[in-house]
Structure 1
Amino acid sequence: MNNNFNILLNQAKKFPQNSGVYIFKDVNNNIIYIGKAKNLKSRIKSYFLKNSDLKSIKLTENAHHLEYIITKSELQAMLLEAELIKANQPKFNILLKDGQPFLYILFTNQIKITRNKKEPGAYFGPFLDKTETRKVYDFLIRTFKLKICNKKIENGCLDYHLGICSGSCRKDFDKNKYLERLNMAKESLAKGHKKFLIYLDKEIKKNSDLLNFEKAKELLEYKKAFNTIFNTLSEDYSYKKIAKSLTHKDIWVLDNNLQKLFIFTEINSVIKNKKIFDLTFNNNNLEYMQSYYSNFNANNIILVNFNIKNSDKNLLENFIQKYQNKNNKINILEPKSGHLFNLIKLAQIHAQELTKNQKSLSETLKNLLKLDKAPETIDCFDISHKQGSFMVGSCIRFKNGQPDPSNFRHFKIKTLTQQDDYAALQEIVARRYKDINELPDLVLIDGGKGQLSSINKILPDIQVASLAKREETVFSKNLPNGKKLNNKIHAHQVLIALRDYAHHFAISYHRKISSLK
C-alpha cells in the first residue's frame, strides 16, 4: 500500500458533495488521472474501499495528492473532464490517449489541415469529423484558388488551368494577390457565412467607389462562388446528412466472459469493427463510451447489449450531442426484439469471430514459442545505425490481432558513443517500460540468442522472443535452440511481418535523423 494512502484518504474526506472533476497527481505534481462525478465526495471515497478494483489500487499507489474542480452540473463535469484529458493526457486515462486528436484548419502562409497546434498561425476548430473538415478545406482551396504546388511549369499546371492551383508553379506568380485570397478565406471562417458576405459587399462597394472596377469585379466573382458552394454544402449538411446518419448506427457489444467491449458501426447492413477495449484494468462501460466519443464521431443511433441506467444514458446522450455539436438527437438504445436487436446479435457474432481468430493466433504463438501465456499484446523492437553513428531504435505494438499505431515509439540512443547493439536494445526497452502499465504480453526482438539474452536480463518476468533475419529463426527462453519459421504459416508470417515493420520503422527514423545533420 502507498505510504501516502492515509493522507490521500484524509484529502478525499474533505471533498465537497458537488458535481465536478477530480484529479490525481503524483509526487512531481504531474496529473496522472482525471475523472468526473455527480457527487465528488462519494466518488473519490470509492477509490479507498477495501474491495477496490485494480484501477483504484493502481491510482492510489501512484498518487501523491488529490484536487478537484466544482461544476454546475454533471454534464458540465463530463465536458470539462474530456477537455482536461485532451489537454493533459494523463497516463492512467489510457482510453482517450488511444484516440486521434481533433482536426484544425490552419492558416500560415498557406492553408492546411492539422491534428495539433504546434505550428504558429491562425487555427479554426477543433473539428471532430474528418469528412466534414475536408469538405470545408476543399471548398476554400477551390473557391479562393489556394493550392500551392511545387512544380515549375511556364504555363501553369493542370490544376491551375482547372482554376484550383494558385499559380505558384508559374514564373509570373503574384504572391500578394495570393495572400489577399488567403486572407479572404480566413475571414470567411472567422466571420461566418452571412458576416463574410456583408464584408465582401463592403469591399466591393469600396473598390467601386475608388473606381477600382477590376478588383470589384473579382470580389463579386468570389461572392458568387462562395454563395454557390456554400449553398451546396448547406444542402449536403441538411437532409442528405440527416438521412445518412439515421441509416448508420454504432453498436456496442459487451462480452463479460472475455472481459472485452467491442464497438462496431453498421452502414447499410454492413457491420464494421472499429475498436476493442480490454476491461481488465477498468470495467466501466460508460467511461469507455465517453472516451471513445470524445475522439470519434458518433452516429445518431447507438445500440448496446448491456443495461445503462436512464440517468446515465441521458447524461451520455447530452454529452455527445453538446461535445460534438450535433443537430440531431443522440439515441442510446438497448433493443430486446426486432430489427435493431438482430443487428446487435449480428455484431455479437462478429465479436465472437474476432476473438476466435485472435485467440487462435495467440494460442498458436504461445505453442510456437513455448510461452506460459498466450500473447494478446506484442511489442517488437529494432535498432538502426550507420557504422555506429546516428543510433536510433523503434518499438511497434500489435494488440488484439491488429497494429496499434498509438503505441509505436521512436528512440534516439542516449547512453552510447560507439556501436553496441545489445546495450542499445537494453536502453530503449528500459525506456519504453518506465511505466509498468505499458508492459506487453510478449516482447519480440530483432536478433538472435545474444539479443534475447540481453533483454531477458532486464525483463526477467516478461515473455521475450527474438527473431534472427537471415535464417528466420525464432528463439525464446523455452526455445533456446530456436525454430526456423515457415513463411506459409499465418502465425509465422505475423512474427516476420512484425519484425520487418519494426525494422522499417527504425530505418525510416534513422534516415530522418541523419538527414538533419
Structure 2
Amino acid sequence: MTDTPFYPQPLVRALPEQPGVYRMLDQDGAVIYVGKARKLRRRVASYFTKSVRNPRTRAMVAQVADISFTVTHTEAEALILENNLIKEHNPRYNVLLRDDKSYPFIFLSATQTFPRLGFHRGARRQEGRYFGPFPSAGAVRETLSHLQKVFPVRQCEDTFFANRSRPCLQYQIKRCTAPCVGYISPEEYARDVEHAVMFLEGKSGEVIDRLVTQMEAASEALDFEQAARLRDRISTLRRIQEKQAITGEKGDLDVVACVQEEGSVCVQVFVIRHGQNLGNKTFFPKAPDETEPGEVLSAFIARYYLGRETPRELLVNTAVAEESLLEEALSQDAGHAVDIRHNVRSERRRWVEMAVTNARTALRTRAARHAGQGRRMEALQQALDLDALPERLECFDISHTRGEATVASCVVFDREGPVKSDYRRFNITDIEPGDDYAAMRQALERRYTRLKRGEGVLPDLLITDGGPGQVRQAMEVLEELQVDGVPIVGISKGPDRRPGEEKLFVADTGETVILPADSAALHLLQQIRDEAHRFAITGHRNRRSKSRRSSSLEDIPGLGPKRRQTILKQFGGLKAVSRAGIDDLARVPGISRELAQRIYDTFHGDRKD
C-alpha cells in the first residue's frame, strides 16, 4: 500500500446500516483491528469523530489506512465471523487468546468386546462415547488414574491389546484385569465398564450402592477375598467423590473469572460436569491498555467458546459487555440455550469467589517469576508448541563406566526451579553392560510404574538425554503403562558436543528442532539436562566406589586369592593399589603387564558421556 492519506468520509457514507464486520488495515495492509456492528455505517463513523477520548482508540485510528467490511444477516452472525477473523489475523488492538488447542476428552470405544478408555483430543470421528470436555490434559490423566484404581478398564491402544501373549505391567500393579489374555469374562468386564460410565456421568453415589450390595453378597457367600476387593473400591471411590463433588450441583456449567492488576489480565476457568469439578485452566489474554474487565471477559468468552462445546450455563464475576448478544451467538453455535450469569448467590457465589482468588494468585505468581524461570517456561511452551504452560518437567540420564555400575537419574523442575525432594536415582541391573537403551527403559518403567500406583505426580513434559533411540524407549514405556498426554522430547549434543548446538527430537511430531543458542527455552533444557547428568554421575561414582571397596579386586579376571593377598601386602591396602600406576603394579611378583593394565582400568576407567 502507498502512503496516500486516508479519508474515511466517502467510505463511511457508502457503508450500509446493516449488521456486519469491519477490518481496519494499516499502511502495509495488515489487519490491526476487527470489530462487529449492528449498523456498520454508524459504528465505523464513531471512530472518526472529535469526541473520541480513549487514547487506545485514537492511537489505532491514527494508523488506519483502509477499511474492509462484510455484511451479515444478524448481529449474532457478525459476532461469530468477528471471532473467526480475529483468530485468523491476530490483530494487535483486539483482545487475543493464545489457545488454539481443542478440548481433551475421555473416549470409550464401542465396537470391541473389551472396550477401551483413553485420552482423546481432536475430531470425534470414532464410534463410541466422549466424556468431557476437560480443561487440560492433566485433568484427563488424573481422572483416568482415578478410574483405573476403582474400575480396572483397559486404557491401552488397540494394537498393543491385540498382540499380547501375557499380562502387562498394568495387571501386575492391579490397574487392569488382563482381558487381553482372558483373565476376565466379557460379562464381568462389561460391569466394570458400566460402573466407569456411571462415575463419568456423575452417578458415583449409585455406583457405591451397587458395590455395597455386591460386597454383602460376596461376604454372605464366604468369598471374603472378593468382598475385601469391593470394600477397597468403595473406600477409594468415596475419597474421590469427596474431592470432586460440588455441593448441590448436578448439571454442567463453567465458572469464568477475570482479574486485572497492574496492566496484566488473568482469566480463570473452572469446569464442572455432572456435578463434578473437573479442574481449572489459567489464561493470560493479551488485551490493549485501558480495556475494561467486562470487555475482556466478553472477548474471552467469544474466543474461547465459539466453535467449541459450551455448557448451558456460564457463571462470571462481573457483568459482560453485550451479554444478550453473546448469549444469542453462543446458543446459536452450541445448538442449545446458553445463559451467562454474574449475580449469583449462596454456594455458586463461593465458586465464583474461588475462581477470582485463583486468578489473582496466578497473576501475582506470574509477575514474581516472569523475569526468571517463568519466562523460560513460557519460551519452552512456545518452542515446543505445548498445550499449556508446563508446571512440572522430568529429565532422565544414564551414567556408567564401560557398562559397570550403571545408574539412571531423574531430576524434576517446576516453575520455581529444581525440586530436589523429588529427584530419584535407579541402580540398573539385569541388562547387557553398556546398553543405554535398556537402561533408559528400565529407569522409565520403574519411575512411572510407581507414579501409576499413585506415588507421585506425572510430569507435563518428559525429557531424555539422548536422541531418537531414547525417545523411542520413553514412548514405548508410556504406551505400555497407558500414560497419555505427556509430551516427550529428547535432547542430544551437536556433532562437536558444544553447548548451543543441541538437537531436540519431539516425539509427537517426529520433528527435529534446533533452537537458537540464545534461546531461553534451550537454556532451560540445558540446565535440566546438565542437572540430570550431574545427579547421574554422582550416583554412578558412589555405586562404583562402594563396589570397589568390597570386591573390586575379586572381580578382575586372572587375579586370584594369592595374587590379591600379595598385591595388598606390597602396597599396604586397597587405597594405595587404586593410586598405583601400571608400571608400579607390574613390578609386583606374579603380576604381568596385561594384568596390571586390567587392575589400573578397574580404578581409572573413563565414564561414558
Q: TM-score, normalised by structure 2?
A: 0.39
Q: Highest Rg: 1 or 2?
A: 2
Q: TM-score, normalised by structure 1?
A: 0.44
Looking at both structures, which has the greater relative contact order when contacts are Cα pairs under 8 Å and sequence separation is at least 6?
Answer: 2
